[in-house]
Structure 1
């Protein structure tokens, strides 16, 4: 099974300038996702092609230095308003034009640097073994959610039965809610080709560990990411 793991890494960033190169645990932010994707090839036949898609020369140099294949992104696919799916399709075109037949395409978000060493390999294995057409990375959350009153004088409503509130440790997988945090998606190539979307056809959930839900939105998130990476056994220079 040959999988293409694409890490979109545009040079511009509205929140944190040059975010993909932000130092996290002594390495550029994008380096963590590259390392994790490359780890999926350990003890295997190198069936995961790890590629960073970027229009930025500095990001390209850093990505290549950590072992990623660099796909030069056209300027028209590097605008603030550019959706992600055309970027993935462009990367697929580049790889398939070289004669590589793809069985799966992974979309990996560089701003979600916290993953277990075997997470990406387990996601690929689940995709293959279940035969689904798309796999969505999610983080489990308790069902203790509320909606505000829909009109004055009405009551707020709960997503669970407050009269029979379960203890958290007794919750079953079916009672949990699952948050799509953008960390990873695994998709059959034909879904991108026919629907232009990362999600389609028969879809399953890939449940990430709660600690893998860290996303770098602000500089304050860096300390949390570094702590979790260390806890998961990643070496930090």
Structure 2
């Protein structure tokens, strides 16, 4: 199959200004995802979608492609990711008649991925003959909802111990790191997930999504302490 990686990186950011190009462990944040994609032999192309000339200049030096800038109406705070993916696909087809078999969505805010994770995710996707794939990490937390009328989402009278939870009863958290979607599934459903969904389990330390300054600091600590695992 022919895989196209798309990395969305708009210029605006409320939590951490210009976080996509903020330096983290010696390089701009977005470059971690770019380098991981370029290092995977199964990926055909790596394209970054951005509305920012500044981000585009950094990306061009990293080896990824910036075939066009994203229009402003697709770079607003409320813009979903899927229309951005479709825009890239439509433009590549218009300009080059290029069509991948599947799209890999890598969010630059998830830089902590171990070596070969993309290769492993693609192999799982193919082995399960899936239509889409979502990366997750096992969840060991006990959740509640509605703080005004507290409602537990587990049986607190028989609090489970981690080692006693059966495999089929374990919870997993979508970690935002890797998504793979067949082109037909993405275009027909306008959603990164659909059809037969494969679940790719990653470690908890790979599952930091950078939305705040604290998240940024935690991710940088991991990248520094285990740098050889993530390059």
Structure 1 and Structure 2 fold alike (TM over 0.5): yes
- How many correspondences in the alignment? 229
Q: Distance in 1 between matches of 2:145 and 2:203?
A: 26
Task: Normalising by structure 2, report the TM-score.
Answer: 0.88
Displacement, 1:4? Answer: 0.8
CA distance in 1, matches of 2:212, 2:157: 39
Greater helix percent: which structure?
A: 2
Post-superposition offset of 1:157: 4.8
Equivalent of residue 182 in structure 1, options 167, 170, 176: 176
Instruction: Please tell me whether the aligned partners of residues 136 and 172 of structure 2 are also in contact (alpha carbons under 8 angstroms).
Output: yes
Instruction: Tell me the TM-score normalised to structure 1 length.
Output: 0.86
2:192 matched residue in structure 1: 198
How many angstroms apart in 2 are the aligned matches of 1:210 and 1:194? 32
Q: Which residue of 2 aligns with 1:58?
A: 54
- The Cα of 1:58 is off from its aligned counterpart by 1.1
User: Does the 8 A contact of 1:96 with 1:102 survive in 2?
Assistant: no
The one-character-per-residue Cα deviations of 1:124-144 (angstroms, maximum 9, x if unpaired) are 111111111111111210263
Matched residue, 2:13: 13
Please give the alpha-carbon distance, in whole angstroms, between the structure 1 residues aligned to 2:217 and 2:141: 28
Query: Are the counterparts in 2 of residues 143 and 175 from structure 1 also a CA contact under 8 Å?
Result: no
Check 1:209–1:92 CA distance in 2 against 1; reply closer, same or farther (3 A cut).
Answer: same
- Provide closer, same or farther for how the CA distance between residues 135 and 9 of structure 1 changes in structure 2, counting only shifts above 3 A: same
Q: Helix, strand or coil for the counterpart of 1:182?
A: strand
Cα deviations by residue, 1:35-91 (Å, 9 ceiling, x for unpaired): 1111212xx5xx331111011111011111111111421222222222211110111
Aligned to 2:35: 35
Indicate the SS of the match to 2:213.
coil
Task: Give unpaired runs (5+ residues) of structure 1.
Answer: none
| SS in structure 2 of the partner of residue 5 of structure 1 | strand
1:98-120 Cα distance to aligned partner (Å, 9 max, x none): 23331110111111111111111
Structure-2 residue corresponding to 1:127: 125
1:83 alignment partner in structure 2: 80
User: 2:104–2:178: 8 Å Cα contact kept in structure 1?
Assistant: yes
Alignment of 1:72-151 (within 5 A): 72=68, 73-97=70-94, 98-142=96-140, 144-147=142-145
Q: Could you tell me whether the CA contact under 8 Å between 2:115 and 2:229 is conserved in 1? A: no
Which segments of 5 or more consecutive residues in structure 2 lack a partner in the other structure? Answer: none
Cα distance change of structure 1 residues 122 and 131 upon mapping to structure 2, 3 Å threshold: same
Partners of 1:209 and 1:191 lie apart in 2 by 27
How much has 1:183 moved relative to structure 2?
1.7
